[in-house]
């Protein structure tokens, strides 16, 4: 094992973020890659053992990291996101969680061979499906909004309650098994839980009040929030162990529903921190396991327990709890299958393993391997199957990455029509119903509303689209749209039309800091592109071959042809932009805005002449008499 603590910290960070990148590049579940990476550098090759290296700091580091991750997830729990799903979500986080506790406890006792006391504690703990595992899966799977919101709310809300349920079960057991009355401890538990909720709401309200009245400068807002998250967690946890998670969840939900104007900036900051923490903590936890624990995982009783939890307990608890709701068969099947356990389950299980062993409860020694077996099994099974199952049940938005246009016009409508013919999902968004006339007439999917408004987050599903083209007649608005969506889409996939200034030296410095990538070529402004479309220019696809390479195409094309993009053989679309150098290859198709051919001009003139004749006939015939 490497003895340098500094080197271990570096390795944890590098392996964690490297695992996230490998998962993104290879489209594998990130949690699976991180788990395997942690096992490789930990118990398998013995490079590091974080629990030994960090000593007494290991537990607090993991606990605070989990608190921050849970808070970041709860910042997304705006009650407006529950529109139409209040009943099923409420049933799942109450009745469903209770059924999962009872059924999981019975399974632990009769299948895994744990004592009743340990069974009810581990049963309560393993109802959790926290944000550390759910959010990365949802980010990758591209589910439709309804199942995605159900899984997100369940994972974030149930996460602290799983730990509290384990504590509650422990206090109940102490009450009935201890020779001295522990009724006071049980009362203290409920009082501490209420105090944690109150503290979280209070801290959330304080943040809302101070931020909205300008008592905290912008550069201190995120640090202040982070400090108060840690404070609320630690204070509650000192009062009663594991209630800190409840406090940060209440705090996050309070802030999310206060409509604080700077909430988006905080969310982006917390998301960045959460990615770092999830990566690091998962590597630390898996690397801290020893080989003996890994070998225990293959015990037949533990394997049988994991299989029943996967294929019986979870589906049954979801199906029973959602009876009478409007969830479809497919939604019940997907939610009933997806329930990965993560960091909270592992950390709290480690705590109770030590406590219960101290009280000499039978089966306490296998809590850690049993929990890790379930965590690893659910992470792998659910991570690899959520995408295929969602597609099978028609609950996935996966397919060719789509393009969303901001701004309705002749140009965006014509380009969207062509992309639709190429099987690329498209949508045109505009706040003006008049601007959307052409799109509605052409049957192009559209959204009428302000794309930058908060309401669009709840009424517009952006999952199918991985590129945005801001194509209004206002350069500043186009830049604002692109800048707003940088955290969600990344600047690489945000585009805007060329600026109106004939001398582009002036906005160049600004465009490096705000806005998206400038499309097509110099001078391809809103007016120029719409003029071309109105003048009869058409979008054409030209196939490249070894016999007809890109250079030959460039040589043959007319001077006024505008290169739009290329479509790869896989169907993936790439746009030409001023700051990139696309290299089309044989097999690619070049999409261009080209002047009409003589035959097309003649056909267009014939249509115009026919239209004029029809109008003349209608005038001569006069009004019809009925």
Joined tokens for residue 92: 């799942």
What are the tens digits of pLDDT across the range 275-298?
787 788 778 878 887 787 778 888
Q: Can you tell me the distance from the alpha carbon of 199 to that of 232, in angstroms, rounded to the nearest whole number?
A: 7
- Asked if 301 and 275 sit in the same domain, the reply is yes
- Cβ contacts of residue 254 below 8 Å, gap of 6+? 200, 201, 203, 204, 205, 208
What are the tens digits of pLDDT across the range 534-548?
888 888 888 888 888
Query: Which residues face 403 on adjacent strands?
Result: 426, 467
What are the tens digits of pLDDT across the range 392-450?
888 876 666 788 899 888 888 888 888 888 888 888 888 888 888 888 888 888 888 88
- Residue 414 sits in a domain of what CATH number? 3.40.50.720
| Model confidence band, residue 625 (pLDDT cutoffs 50, 70, 90) | very low
Q: Which long-range contacts (CB under 8 A, 24 or more apart) does 136-140 make?
A: 136/29, 136/30, 136/31, 136/278, 137/29, 137/31, 137/338, 137/340, 137/382, 137/383, 137/386, 140/23, 140/27, 140/29, 140/30, 140/386, 140/387
The last residue of a domain, from among 369, 392, 415: 392
- Asked if 377 and 459 sit in the same domain, the reply is no
- Asked if 380 and 411 sit in the same domain, the reply is no
Which candidate, 528, 471, 476, places its Cα nearest to that of 496? 471
Residue-level pLDDT at 626: 39
* Residue 335 in domain: yes
- Asked if 213 and 255 sit in the same domain, the reply is yes
Q: Compute CA 107 distance to the chain's CA centroid, rounded to the nearest angstrom.
A: 32
- Cβ contacts of residue 128 below 8 Å, gap of 6+? 155, 158, 159, 161, 162, 163, 341, 342, 344, 345
Dump strand ranges (E) for 199-252. none
Cβ atoms within 10 Å, residue 356 = 23
Return the minimum-mean-pLDDT range out of 106-110, 297-301, 553-557. Answer: 553-557
Sheet holding 562-567, edge to edge: 538-543, 589-594, 562-567, 573-575
Q: Can you tell me the distance from the alpha carbon of 402 to that of 148, in angstroms, rounded to the nearest whole number?
A: 19
- Asked if 114 and 76 sit in the same domain, the reply is yes
- Asked if 357 and 495 sit in the same domain, the reply is no
Cβ atoms within 10 Å, residue 83 = 10
What are the tens digits of pLDDT across the range 459-488?
677 777 888 888 888 888 888 888 878 767
Residue-level pLDDT at 59: 78
Residue-level pLDDT at 164: 67
* Residue 371 in domain: yes
* Residue 117 in domain: yes
- Asked if 355 and 433 sit in the same domain, the reply is no
| Model confidence band, residue 303 (pLDDT cutoffs 50, 70, 90) | very high
User: Does residue 60 register a pLDDT over 80?
Assistant: yes
User: Does residue 612 register a pLDDT over 90?
Assistant: no
* Residue 304 in domain: yes
- Cβ contacts of residue 441 below 8 Å, gap of 6+? none
CA-based radius of gyration for the chain: 29
Q: Can you tell me the distance from the alpha carbon of 312 to that of 315, in angstroms, rounded to the nearest whole number?
A: 6
Whether the CB-CB separation of 48 and 8 falls below 8 Å is answered with yes
- Residue 129 sits in a domain of what CATH number? 1.20.1530.20
Query: In this structure, what are the phi and psi dihedrals at residue 333, rounded to the nearest 5 degrees?
Result: -65, -45
* Residue 47 in domain: no
Helices (H), 495-539: 505-511, 526-534
Residue 410 structural domain: 402-538
Which candidate, 407, 368, 609, 573, places its Cα nearest to that of 497? 407
* Residue 607 in domain: no
What are the tens digits of pLDDT across the range 252-274?
888 878 767 666 656 666 666 77
Q: Can you tell me the distance from the alpha carbon of 83 to that of 124, in angstroms, rounded to the nearest whole number?
A: 29
Residue-level pLDDT at 503: 45
User: Does residue 175 register a pLDDT over 70?
Assistant: no
Range picked from 35-39, 70-74, 145-149 for highest mean pLDDT: 35-39
The last residue of a domain, from among 370, 392, 414: 392
- Asked if 439 and 364 sit in the same domain, the reply is no
- Asked if 281 and 414 sit in the same domain, the reply is no
Q: Compute CA 521 distance to the chain's CA centroid, rounded to the nearest angstrom.
A: 34
pTM over 0.85: no
Sheet holding 465-470, edge to edge: 446-448, 426-430, 402-406, 465-470, 494-496, 517-518
Residue-level pLDDT at 203: 92
- Cβ contacts of residue 524 below 8 Å, gap of 6+? 497, 498, 562
Number of domains in the chain: 2
Q: Can you tell me the distance from the alpha carbon of 142 to that of 131, in angstroms, rounded to the nearest whole number?
A: 16
What are the tens digits of pLDDT across the range 111-161?
988 888 888 888 887 887 766 677 667 766 777 778 888 888 787 777 667
> What value does the mean pLDDT take over residues 301-312?
92
Q: Compute CA 339 distance to the chain's CA centroid, rounded to the nearest angstrom.
A: 16
- Asked if 240 and 169 sit in the same domain, the reply is yes
Residue reference for tokens 């601007």: 435
The last residue of a domain, from among 392, 418, 450: 392
What are the tens digits of pLDDT across the range 220-252?
887 888 899 899 989 988 887 767 878 888 888
Q: Can you tell me the distance from the alpha carbon of 531 to that of 536, in angstroms, rounded to the nearest whole number?
A: 9
* Residue 496 in domain: yes
What are the tens digits of pLDDT across the range 347-385?
677 667 767 777 777 777 788 888 888 888 888 888 888
Cβ-count burial 596-605 (b if 16+ within 10 Å, e if not): eeeeeeeeee
CA atoms within 13 A on the CB side of 39: 14
Which candidate, 466, 470, 426, places its Cα nearest to that of 446? 426
> What value does the mean pLDDT take over residues 3-13?
84
Q: Can you tell me the distance from the alpha carbon of 452 to that of 407, in angstroms, rounded to the nearest whole number?
A: 12
Percent of the chain with pLDDT over 70: 80
* Residue 22 in domain: no
Return the minimum-mean-pLDDT range out of 37-51, 69-83, 489-503, 546-560. Answer: 69-83
Q: For the chain, give the mean pLDDT.
A: 79
Query: In this structure, what are the phi and psi dihedrals at residue 84, rounded to the nearest 5 degrees?
Result: 85, -5
Residue reference for tokens 């730990």: 163
Joined tokens for residue 367: 């809590």
Percent of the chain with pLDDT over 90: 6
Residue-level pLDDT at 454: 60
- Asked if 184 and 306 sit in the same domain, the reply is yes
Q: Can you tell me the distance from the alpha carbon of 409 to that of 470, in angstroms, rounded to the nearest whole number?
A: 12
Q: Can you tell me the distance from the alpha carbon of 322 to that of 87, in angstroms, rounded to the nearest whole number?
A: 8
Joined tokens for residue 10: 């570096």
User: Does residue 529 register a pLDDT over 80?
Assistant: yes
- Asked if 348 and 437 sit in the same domain, the reply is no
Range picked from 32-36, 146-150, 297-301 for highest mean pLDDT: 297-301
């Amino acid at each position: 094992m490497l003895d340098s603590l500094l080197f271990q910290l570096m390795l944890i960070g590098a392996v964690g973020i490297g695992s996230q990148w490998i998962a993104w590049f290879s489209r594998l579940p990130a949690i699976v890659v991180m788990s395997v990476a942690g096992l490789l550098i930990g118990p398998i090759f013995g490079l590091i053992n974080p629990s030994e290296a960090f000593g007494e700091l290991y537990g607090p580091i993991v606990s605070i990291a989990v608190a921050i991750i849970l808070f970041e997830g709860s910042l997304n729990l705006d009650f407006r996101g529950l529109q139409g799903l209040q009943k099923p979500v409420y049933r799942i986080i109450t009745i469903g969680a209770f059924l999962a506790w009872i059924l999981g406890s019975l399974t632990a006792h009769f299948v895994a061979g744990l004592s009743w006391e340990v069974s009810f504690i581990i049963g309560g703990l393993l109802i959790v499906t926290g944000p550390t595992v759910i959010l990365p899966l949802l980010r990758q799977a591209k589910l439709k909004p309804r199942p995605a919101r159900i899984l997100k709310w369940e994972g974030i809300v149930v996460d602290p309650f799983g730990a509290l349920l384990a504590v509650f079960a422990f206090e109940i057991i102490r009450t009935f098994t201890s020779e001295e009355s522990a009724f006071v401890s049980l009362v203290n538990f409920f009082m501490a839980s209420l105090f944690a909720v109150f503290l979280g709401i209070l801290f959330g309200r304080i943040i809302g009040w101070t931020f909205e009245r300008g008592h905290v400068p912008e550069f201190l807002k995120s640090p202040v929030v982070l400090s108060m998250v840690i404070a609320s967690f630690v204070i509650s946890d000192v009062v009663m162990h594991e209630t800190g998670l409840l406090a940060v969840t209440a705090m996050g939900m309070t802030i999310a529903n206060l409509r604080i104007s700077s909430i988006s900036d905080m969310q982006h900051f917390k998301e960045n921190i959460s990615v770092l923490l999830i990566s690091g903590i998962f590597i630390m936890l898996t690397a801290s396991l020893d080989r003996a624990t890994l070998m225990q995982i293959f015990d037949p009783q533990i394997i049988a327990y994991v299989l029943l939890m996967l294929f019986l307990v979870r589906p049954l608890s979801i199906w029973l709890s959602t009876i009478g709701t409007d969830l479809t068969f497919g939604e019940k099947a997907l939610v009933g299958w997806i329930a990965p356990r993560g960091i909270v389950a592992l950390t709290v299980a480690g705590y109770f393993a030590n406590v219960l062993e101290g009280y000499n409860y039978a089966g306490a020694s296998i809590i850690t391997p049993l929990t890790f077996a379930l965590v690893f099994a659910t992470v792998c099974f659910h991570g690899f199957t959520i995408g295929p199952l969602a597609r099978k049940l028609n609950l996935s938005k996966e397919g060719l990455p789509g393009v969303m246009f901001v701004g309705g016009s002749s140009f965006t409508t014509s380009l969207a029509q062509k992309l639709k013919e190429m099987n690329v999902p498209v949508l045109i968004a505009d706040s003006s119903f008049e601007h959307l006339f052409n799109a509605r007439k052409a049957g192009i999917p559209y959204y009428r509303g302000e794309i930058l408004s908060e309401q669009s987050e709840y009424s517009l599903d952006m999952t199918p689209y991985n590129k945005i083209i801001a194509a209004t007649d206002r350069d500043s608005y186009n830049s604002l749209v692109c800048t707003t969506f940088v955290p969600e889409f990344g600047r690489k996939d945000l585009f805007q039309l060329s600026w109106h200034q004939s001398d582009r030296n002036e906005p160049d410095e600004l465009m490096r800091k705000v806005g998206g990538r400038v499309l097509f070529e110099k001078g391809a402004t809103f007016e120029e592109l719409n003029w071309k479309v109105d003048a009869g220019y058409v979008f054409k696809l030209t196939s490249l071959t070894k016999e007809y390479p890109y250079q030959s195409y460039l040589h043959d094309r007319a001077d006024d042809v505008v290169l739009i993009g290329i479509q790869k053989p896989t169907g993936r679309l790439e746009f030409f932009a001023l700051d990139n150098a696309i290299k089309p290859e044989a097999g690619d198709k070049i999409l261009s805005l080209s002047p009409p051919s003589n035959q097309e001009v003649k056909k267009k003139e014939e249509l115009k002449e026919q239209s004029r004749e029809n109008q003349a006939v209608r005038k001569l015939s006069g009004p019809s008499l009925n």
